[in-house]
Amino acid sequence: MDNTSTKKERIKAIVYTIIAATLLSTGGILLKFIDMNPMAIASSRGIFSVAIVWAYLKKPKFTFSKPQVVGAISYAGMVTGFILANKLTTAANAVVLQFTAPIWVAILGAWILKERIRWYDGISIVIVSLGMILFFIDDMGGGSLEGNIVAILSGVALAGSTIGMRMQKDGSPVETTLLGHFITVLIGLPFLFQASFTIQNIFGIFLLGVFQLGISYILYALAIKHLTALESILIMFLEPILNPIWVVIFYGEKPSVYSLIGGLIVIVTLALRSVIANKQITVE
């Protein structure tokens, strides 16, 4: 494959990942309309996600290879872990600690995938992490030690699912997300029997399952075939930045100056990193 076609595939993959991050970021605003136990939400949302991913694949191929199984378990751990973290610690802590994922991806990617960490990747991790802290600095602190630990483990799980899908770049990593959805449904199944399925709750869960989780991770799984694990997870930093923006738009909550500066730092850094990476591919 020549540099031109490689560059086109990368740009398409970057667009897919940005769309995925945008869809995932709607979770915060949609959850405000749903009055249910978080684990019941995770399980019922997973049912819709299973349906949409299965419809996309038509005939899913479950190989049950190590990357597929580990990726699926990690995916389920990420989804349920993040929900539990939000129950046990502050929302800001949960988001910031989960998005330590690039650090774990960088370590695991270099070790397992043999993907070289370039100079601009290291700089991007540092600057984006600082931007994230600024973005949530007003709400950070407090929470419980248990919740903070669960949030960090959720970040490790996010890294694990990314690595697992990247290991299947020559196959079909979408099946990994489908298997992960199945596991998530089973984990939260006991909580469904106590849930209140009002029309509003069902509609909210439908939007979460189909768009916020189902379609988003189809796009993410397709994109990761053409991006390094670290690059894809860095772009996903857009999710926690966009999440409160929807709250601002629909609820009128005003962000702090630190939030505006932090969000701008993240977006500019990711944009510059993509430009540099594309130039590197053209040169190579």
Q: What is the arithmetic mean of pLDDT over 255-268?
A: 84
Q: If you average pLDDT over residues 157-167, what whole number do you get?
A: 93
Render the burial of 50-84: b for 16+ CB within 10 Å, e for the rest. bebbbeeeeeeeeeeeebbbbbbbbbbbbbbbbbb
pLDDT surpasses 80 at 177: yes
User: What type of residue is 270?
Assistant: L
Q: What is the mean pLDDT of the chain?
A: 86
Domain span at 269: 3-283
Q: How many contiguous H segments (helices) and E segments (strands) does the chain have?
A: 14, 0
Residue 66 to residue 138: CA distance in whole angstroms: 41
Q: Is the pLDDT of residue 5 over 60?
A: no
pLDDT in tens, 26-45: 887 888 788 888 889 999 99
Q: Are 220 and 71 in contact (CB under 8 A)?
A: no
Closest CA to 108 of 17, 231, 229: 229
Asked if the model's pLDDT at residue 237 lies above 70, the reply is yes
How many domains, the chain?
1
Residue labelled with tokens 């993240």: 266
What local confidence, expressed as pLDDT, does residue 282 receive? 53
Of 248 and 23, the structure prediction assigns the larger pLDDT to 23
Burial class (CB in 10 A: 0-12, 13-18, 19+), 169: middle
pLDDT over threshold 70, residue 151? yes
CA gyration radius for the chain? 18
Note the pLDDT of residue 138.
73
Contact between 221 and 173 under an 8 Å Cβ cutoff? The reply is yes
Q: How confident is the model at residue 220 (pLDDT cuts 50, 70, 90)?
A: very high
Residue 169 Cα to chain centre, angstroms = 18
With 70 as the cut, is the pLDDT of residue 281 above it?
no
